[in-house]
Amino acid sequence: MRRLIGIAAVIVLGIILLVVLLRVTSCNSNLVPAPEPNAPTPTEELAVVVFETEEPTATPTTEQSSTGTGTPTAAATVGMGVSAAQVETATPAATSVTSSVANRAPDENPLTGLKVDDAAVLKRRPLMVRVGNDPGARPQVGLEKAEVVYEEIVEWWVTRFTAVYLSEDPEMIAPIRSARLVNLHIVPQYQGALGNSGGSDGVRWEISQSGIVDLDEYFVPQPYFYRENEGWQTRLAFNAKEARQYLQEEGLEGDVKLRGFEFDQALDVATLPQEAVGDAKEVVIPYPAVTSEARWQYDPASGKYLRFTTGEPMMAFDGSQISASNVIIYFAEHQETDIVEDVNEATSIRIIANGLGTAWLLRDGKILKGNWETNGRETPRFFFNDGQPMPLKPGNTWIQVVPLYFEIEIDGTLHTRLGDETPSEAENGTVEELTPTKIPSPTPTSSRSAGRFDRVSSR
C-alpha cells in the first residue's frame, strides 16, 4: 500500500513539473528575439544654423539687363560694346599715367591727384554726405569743396547727391537729405561714413545690416544743425568738423588706405585707343527733364566742365558756378523695389554699382569710353577695353550714375553705352524721358518731441 502511495506521489510531482515547463515555454514564445550583434546606429545630430552678418561679396553685374530682374545678360557689353569676356584682365603695358596706386606720393590725394599740406588727413575715413537736388533745395552749400560727387535718380522723378569729403572739412554742407539703397554700394567702396537725415524703414534696415558707419541724424545729432532764416527744405546742415570729432570720440575713425584713381595732367590722345576717344564739348544727361536734367559744358579757359541743371547754371551758395575737372558717366542697372519712400507711395530704386560696367570719362573737352570695375570694397577702377587705365585729370570729379538704357547727348549726337550713335533731333522720339506728370513735394517725415529730436526733415 505504501508502495502504491509513493508511486502516485511521483506521478503527481511529474505532472506538476510538466505543467510548469509548458507555461514557461509558452511565455518565451511571446518574447521578441534579441537582435543580431550589429554596429549601433548613431543618433542623427541636429543641424545647427548660424546666422551672421557678413560683408557682402561683390558679384560682377557685367552690364545686367534693365528689366529690373537682376539677371545678368549672357553676353555682357562694356566700354565700346565689346563682350565682358574680351576685356583684358592682364596687367596692361606701361602707360604715361603720372599718378597711380603704385607710385602715388604719401601727400597726394588719391581722389584728386593733388598735393595736400598734411598727409595724415588722407588716411581718414571719407565723409559721404547726402545732399538734396530737388528744386527747393538749391543752391546747395559745400558741393564745390567735395573731392567726388555722385548723382543718382531717386524715386524716378529727381536726382540726389552723395558728396565725398576726404581732405576738406566744411563746417556747412546743406541741405541734408536721407539715404538710399545706392549708398549700400558706394559707401563701402570708400570705407566712408554716411551723413544723412534718416531714410525709409526698408533702407534703414538694410544699412543697419551692412556694417556701414552710419551717421544718421536721428541717432547721431552731433554734426547736424539748423541754418538760420531757412525753410524746412533747406535748413538742415552738416558740420564735417563736428563729424570728425564724433568719429574720433567713438573710435570710428580708421586708418583708411584708398586705392583711388589714376591721374595724368596731360591728355596724350595718341597713346590711347583711338576708337575710344572723341570730342565732347557739351554733354546732356537725360535725368528727369522738369527737375534734374544735367548739362556739362566745357570751358577752355578753366579747363573744366561747367554744370547746368534744367537749362540754368548750377550755382553754389557762394555765387560760383559748379564745375568739375572730370565728369564720369557711370552706367549701372536700376532695379525697381517695393520700398515706399514717401506719402506719394514712390518707391526706392536699387542701383547696382558694384561689379563691372560701362564708364565714360569727360575731361579736357574729350570723351574717353571704357569701363568701371569694383569689388565693392575699393574705389572704382576706370580702364579701356585693352586694360589700359583711363587717366583722370587732377582735380574734382562728378560721377553721373545713369540707367543702362540712357542715351547721352554729346555735341548734338545721342550715344548709347553700346557705342551706336543717332541724331538727336526731336522727331526721332527715341529717348524715354523720366518726366513726372506732377512734381512731388519733398515730404516731412516726422515731427519729434522737444529737444534734439525736435526737427522736421525732408527725405
pLDDT in tens, 314-344: 999 999 999 999 999 999 999 999 999 988 8
Q: What is the CATH number of the domain that holds 375?
A: 3.50.90.10
pLDDT band at 421 (very low <50, low <70, confident <90, very high): low
pLDDT band of residue 459 (cuts 50, 70, 90) is: low
Neighbours of 309 (CB within 10 A): 19
Tally of structural domains, the chain? 1
157-166 pLDDT, tens digit each:
999 999 999 9
- Return the amino acid letter for 275: E
Contacts of residue 39, defined as CB under 8 A and 6 or more positions apart, other chains included, come to none
Confidence of residue 418 (pLDDT cuts 50, 70, 90): confident
Distance CA 87, CA 273 (A): 13
* pLDDT score at 119: 97
Quick check: is 62 in a domain? no
Q: What backbone phi and psi angles, to 5 degrees, belong to 108?
A: -100, 125
Check residue 102 and give its pLDDT.
84
User: 439: pLDDT confidence band, cut at 50, 70 and 90?
Assistant: very low
**Which of 210-214, 257-261, 277-281, 422-426 is the least confident region?**
422-426
Mean pLDDT throughout 109-125? 98
Find the domain containing 84 and state its range: 77-428
Q: Is residue 193 part of a domain?
A: yes
> pTM of the full predicted structure?
0.77
Is 60 exceeded by the pLDDT of residue 138? yes
Closest CA to 155 of 313, 338, 369: 338
| Residue 51 pLDDT > 80 | no
Q: Concatenated DSSP letters for 206-275?
A: HHHTTT-EEEETTT--TTEEEPTT--TTT-EEE-HHHHHHHHHHTT-----------B-SS--GGGS-GG
DSSP for 360-401, please give it. Answer: EEEETTEEEEEEEEE-SSSPPEEE-TTS-B-PBPSS-EEEEE
pLDDT in the model for residue 3: 56
Quick check: is 444 in a domain?
no
Kindly report each contact of residues 240-246 with a partner whose C-beta sits within 8 Å and lies 24 or more positions away, as own/partner: 240/127, 240/129, 240/165, 240/168, 240/169, 240/170, 240/171, 240/173, 241/169, 241/171, 243/127, 243/193, 243/195, 243/215, 244/124, 244/127, 244/169, 246/215, 246/220, 246/222
Average pLDDT over residues 271-286: 97
Q: Which residue has the higher pLDDT, 190 or 51?
A: 190
- pLDDT, one tens digit per residue, over 345-361 is 999 999 999 999 999 99
- Identify which has the larger pLDDT, 179 or 26: 179
Cell of 173: 554742407
- Would you state the pLDDT for residue 386? 96
DSSP 426: G
Per-range mean pLDDT, top range of 69-78, 85-94, 359-368: 359-368
Residue 24: inside a domain: no
Euclidean distance between CA atoms 357 and 342, whole angstroms:
31
Asked if residue 20 is part of any domain, the answer here is no
Positive or negative torsion for Cα 199, 204, 208, 212: negative
Q: Which pLDDT score is estimated for 246?
A: 98
Q: Is residue 101 part of a domain?
A: yes
Nearest to 359 by CA among 378, 384, 377, 376: 384
Phi and psi at residue 91, to the nearest 5°: -65, 125
Q: Residue 196: which pLDDT band, with cuts at 50, 70 and 90?
A: very high
Q: Is residue 6 within a helix (H) or strand (E), and if so which, with residue range?
A: helix 2-28
Q: What average pLDDT does the structure give for the chain? A: 81
